[in-house]
Amino acid sequence: MMPDQKNDYFCYIPESRLCRALGCTLQSSGFTQVGKNAQYPAQTHPKGHMFNRHTGRILQAYQLVYIEEGRGRAELGRQLGLQNISAGSAFVLFPNVWDRYAPEVSVGWTEHWVECKGTAFDMAVSSGILDPHRPIFRNSDRAAVKATFEEIHTLAVKDAVANQPVLSMLGLKLLAILAGTCNTSETSSNRLVNTARMMLLERYADNRPMEEIADTLNVSYSNLRRMFRIDTGMSMK
């Protein structure tokens, strides 16, 4: 398929040891143009990925979904409620979290998606880069997201299994683009807290004083503790 994305497709790929070692395995990808009043989703996906507008589903991996055109609604977790999804928005589906989404019947939409699993995505959640309570990215770099998806689609259609390691790294690239967009909109306190969280994850086995992290970030320990508790709801310890 050429990068102009005129043909719908999807593919599902077995897990590979190389991708697992790299920290990310791209398991599936797809591109769909949903017209007005069209059935959604198509009834040809594997059983574990099927859902409808009413029942939803629970996946066992992460999905990154980008809506290039059109609009719709999504419920990404039972606690978050129904949210509007507009053109240019991206959202994340998390493992073991119930979800459902669909284009507006009278409008339709154009949808790109990849499904990934691995320690890189797990660490992104642990460090706060991905947050199940904030699954929608409304200000993503559209050009970068679309270009990356075009590369993914071209390689997947050509030979998804042979290109799986490269596809998996492109899945990480999408994560980096979305996370970068999120980080640029963070407040300075959010950035400090997220940096502190990453440092804690890196040093958790060293049993080093918490004050060292504050010194490294050039902030007082008391202020860092306060910001950390406000942002995460827990103490640094």
Is 106 exposed, middle or buried, given 0-12, 13-18 or 19+ CB atoms closer than 10 A? exposed
**pLDDT tens digits, 148-202:** 999 999 999 999 999 999 999 999 999 999 887 655 545 567 778 888 888 887 7
**pLDDT tens digits, 47-63:** 778 777 778 899 999 99
Higher pLDDT, 146 or 206: 146
Q: Whole-prediction pTM value?
A: 0.75
Question: Under a CB-based contact definition with an 8 Å cutoff, are residues 102 and 73 in contact?
Answer: yes
**pLDDT tens digits, 73-94:** 999 998 888 999 999 999 999 9
Distances (CA, A) of 161 to 154, 155, 178: 13, 10, 25
**pLDDT > 70 fraction of the chain, expressed in percent and rounded:** 92
**pLDDT > 90 fraction of the chain, expressed in percent and rounded:** 55
Q: What residues pair up with 57 in beta bridges, in sequence order?
A: 99
pLDDT band at 95 (very low <50, low <70, confident <90, very high): very high
- 109-117 and 62-76 strand pairing: antiparallel
What's the whole-number average pLDDT of the chain? 87
